[in-house]
């Protein structure tokens, strides 16, 4: 299942590139899947990690995911698919609300995605400096609000034993990225 999901994501994201580095976009979903695999998550959740941006960023619909990968994986993907008709702030507030109230597997998927994005952003920030903020729909203050809100809500409702180590990595990375000198 995981290899099928990875191959499907590679096909779906073919020709897409990251905003700043222009590396193939598929590197992001693959790393999200790897974060989830390293944390010992289920094959279904790892598969959703590979597929998490397919509905949001390609021509495929959630029905395609359900048909090919089943209801559980489709539900994971749907839980983390943004409605692009809404403003950036509305989309991010929705994600924060989902994160706060979600079960642990959905939380894992959302935080793994944010972790990979913020780690890539940190690399770009070191290479290019504060001008990287200009590549995104929201600047420093809005991005700071979003990421700090994610930290505040990611562990809500989880038992201590259910919090994976990558949550700590996410929090530490956010703190580094949003230091005053990186504005």
In our burial notation (b when 16+ CB lie closer than 10 A, e otherwise), range 72-94 reads ebbbbbebbbbeeeeeeeebbee
Alpha carbon distance 166, 39 (integer Å): 8
Q: Active-site residue numbers? A: 56-57
Q: How far is CA 39 from CA 17, 71, 105, 141, in A?
A: 27, 23, 11, 31
């Amino acid at each position: 299942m995981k290899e099928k999901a990875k191959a499907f994501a590679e096909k779906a994201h073919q020709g897409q590139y990251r905003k700043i580095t222009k590396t193939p976009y598929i590197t992001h979903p693959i790393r999200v899947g790897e974060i989830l695999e390293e944390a010992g998550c289920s094959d279904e959740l790892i598969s959703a990690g590979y597929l998490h941006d397919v509905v949001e960023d390609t021509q495929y619909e959630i029905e395609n995911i359900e048909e090919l990968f089943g209801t559980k994986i489709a539900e994971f993907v749907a839980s983390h698919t943004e409605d692009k008709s809404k403003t950036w702030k509305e989309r991010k507030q929705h994600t924060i609300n989902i994160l706060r109230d979600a079960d642990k597997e959905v939380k894992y998927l959302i935080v793994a995605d944010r972790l990979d994005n913020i780690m890539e952003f940190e690399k770009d920030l070191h290479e290019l400096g504060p001008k990287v903020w200009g590549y995104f729909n929201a600047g420093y203050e809005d991005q700071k609000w979003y990421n700090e809100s994610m930290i505040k809500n990611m562990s809500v409702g989880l038992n201590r034993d259910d919090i994976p180590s990558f949550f700590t990595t996410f929090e530490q990375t956010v703190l580094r990225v949003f230091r005053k000198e990186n504005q």
